[in-house]
Amino acid sequence: MPDWPFRVPEPPDGFEHQALAAHTTVDYERGQWVVYLEVTFWDEIRRHRIAAYPSERLALIAADWIKRGAQRDLPGPPTGIGRMQRLGLRPQPLGIFPLPASYLVLPPTADAEATLAALMRGTVPAELPTIWRFYALAFAGDSAAALAALQGDHSLEAHYNRFVLSGDPADYALLTERAEGDLALLGAIAAYTLGLLDAPPAADIADSELAAFALMTQAAFAIEQQRIDDAEAILAEAATHARPASPLLAAQLLVTRADLRSEQRGAR
């Protein structure tokens, strides 16, 4: 038997505790039975050649032993839900599209730069990466299908997205236990919008389009309280945060501010 522990591969840059599953396969190659260890990180599977054996029986015994050891040493908790401070994909098209899509978070995926750029311009391409299928379904107004598309994904981002789509307080309770940083902020914003919190969260831990999104919610809160001057100032600040990464969101915020100012003048 090879010495244990094998080193479980590190998660992609920007994440913590993302190994969701581990299993082994046995392939017959050039007269030997070869054991491979496959570790799933979110949407990515990393495959490693471990050892070769002269018989299939020995290889299967080793494969089972290796799998049990790998599963024991996965860096994430048993549910696959870990903590992370920052989103792995930036910028995010937050606030650009109608609900619920405007609140959803896109997980990182390979070769999606052009698709993300189109979304940031306010265009939803006809084809999205498979891992983003839930987003297209939500944009089309089919929240039930979007939820179904997220089934089996135990990432924090997927858990947050399920909360946005379902509005289930139990989902939010679990999210508050597991999430930190960006997703904790976004979860609180969504909870306020869904009526689970009395006030929106502060935006002081966020930057760029995330800060703008949080400030946009604070502006809505100010409007509800008839603090129109405060809302105008908050919207202007939000547009400043959004402009470098999300010009379309910045423009929408400024239009909202202009409409608010026009309504205020008309009321006088």
Give the Cα separation of 65 and 246 in Å (integer).
Answer: 49
Give the Cα separation of 18 and 225 in Å (integer).
Answer: 41
The predicted-structure confidence for 62-81, as pLDDT tens digits, reads as follows 777 776 666 555 554 433 33
Give the Cα separation of 212 and 266 in Å (integer).
Answer: 27
The predicted-structure confidence for 193-246, as pLDDT tens digits, reads as follows 999 999 999 888 789 999 999 999 999 999 999 999 999 999 999 999 999 999
What are the beta bridge partners of residue 46?
A: 39
The predicted-structure confidence for 142-173, as pLDDT tens digits, reads as follows 999 999 999 888 888 999 999 999 999 988 98
Cα separation values, 88 from 84, 85, 93, 198, Å: 9, 9, 14, 29
Q: Give the start-to-end residue ranges of the domains of the chain.
A: 19-72, 199-268
pLDDT of residue 232: 96
Give the Cα separation of 233 and 248 in Å (integer).
Answer: 19
Nearest to 172 by CA among 152, 190, 154: 190
180 with 84: CB under 8 angstroms? yes
- Residue type for 257, please? R
Which percentage of the chain shows pLDDT scores above 90?
54
Secondary-structure percent of the chain, ordered helix, strand, coil, rounded to 5: 50, 10, 40
Nearest to 165 by CA among 210, 219, 221, 101: 101
Tokens standing for residue 177: 């236990």
**pTM above the 0.75 mark?**
no
